[in-house]
Amino acid sequence: MYYALSYMKEWLSQDKYFMSGYKRQTFEIYDNPRVRVLGETSVPSGQPFDLKFLFTSGWPYNPADFTGAEEAQYTLYRKDGENEYTALSGHTGKINLTFNQGQPELAVVDTLAFTETLPDGEYSIGLTTTWEYLLHVPVSVDITVGATGISSVVRDDPNNIYTDLQGRRLQARPARKGIYIRNGKKVLVK
């Protein structure tokens, strides 16, 4: 068995053709710098958010390209109107990115955590960074606490709504004879 494995290793290292007819090839993998968001962006009333923003350096990268002064921060905004947001004081977080301490063979990931319990409503988290690779990439995450969006339910007068047996709504009382549904009950139109 050992002889067979060592022979296979030697055969593969010589760039010989595989049985399928393809020659062994090498390739390189690149990963761009980015921000990833982990966690739920909608929670029930009274539940805390647990979001994590992962800043990845990409690969390959050179730690010498970083000064050690790169920062990332978030600011929390509350939605006030149609598209109006107000920054909430005291709801910010900041980290120093440690990309200058990594190794060239490995990508580095820094995590900025957002863990807060908020009153019901709609919010947005804006992320900013002094890191040159993400300076011009706007990152914002919309979050929701509690049930929002439905203020009231308006129901048509059920006495005037007819549907056929397939559930299709009719505009008025049916002119053809048959069985229809009105007010949740089957009715016979003669």
Rounded to whole angstroms, the Cα distance separating 190 from 143 reads 54
Three-state DSSP class for 2? helix
Domains in the chain, start-ordered, CATH in brackets?
34-145 (2.60.40), 158-189 (no CATH)
Rounded to whole angstroms, the Cα distance separating 87 from 81 reads 13
Tens-place pLDDT, residues 39-82: 888 888 888 888 888 888 777 777 777 788 888 888 899 988 77
Rounded to whole angstroms, the Cα distance separating 123 from 144 reads 6
Q: What is the model's pLDDT at position 28? A: 63
Q: What is the model's pLDDT at position 8? A: 56
182 pLDDT more than 80? yes
Q: Which of 89, 78, 72 is nearest to 128 (CA)?
A: 72
pTM of the model: 0.57
Q: What is the model's pLDDT at position 2? A: 46
Give the mean pLDDT of 132-157. 70
Tens-place pLDDT, residues 83-106: 788 888 888 888 888 876 766 666
Q: Is the dihedral of CA 143, 144, 149, 151 positive or negative?
A: negative
Tens-place pLDDT, residues 145-180: 886 555 556 665 656 788 898 888 888 888 889 999
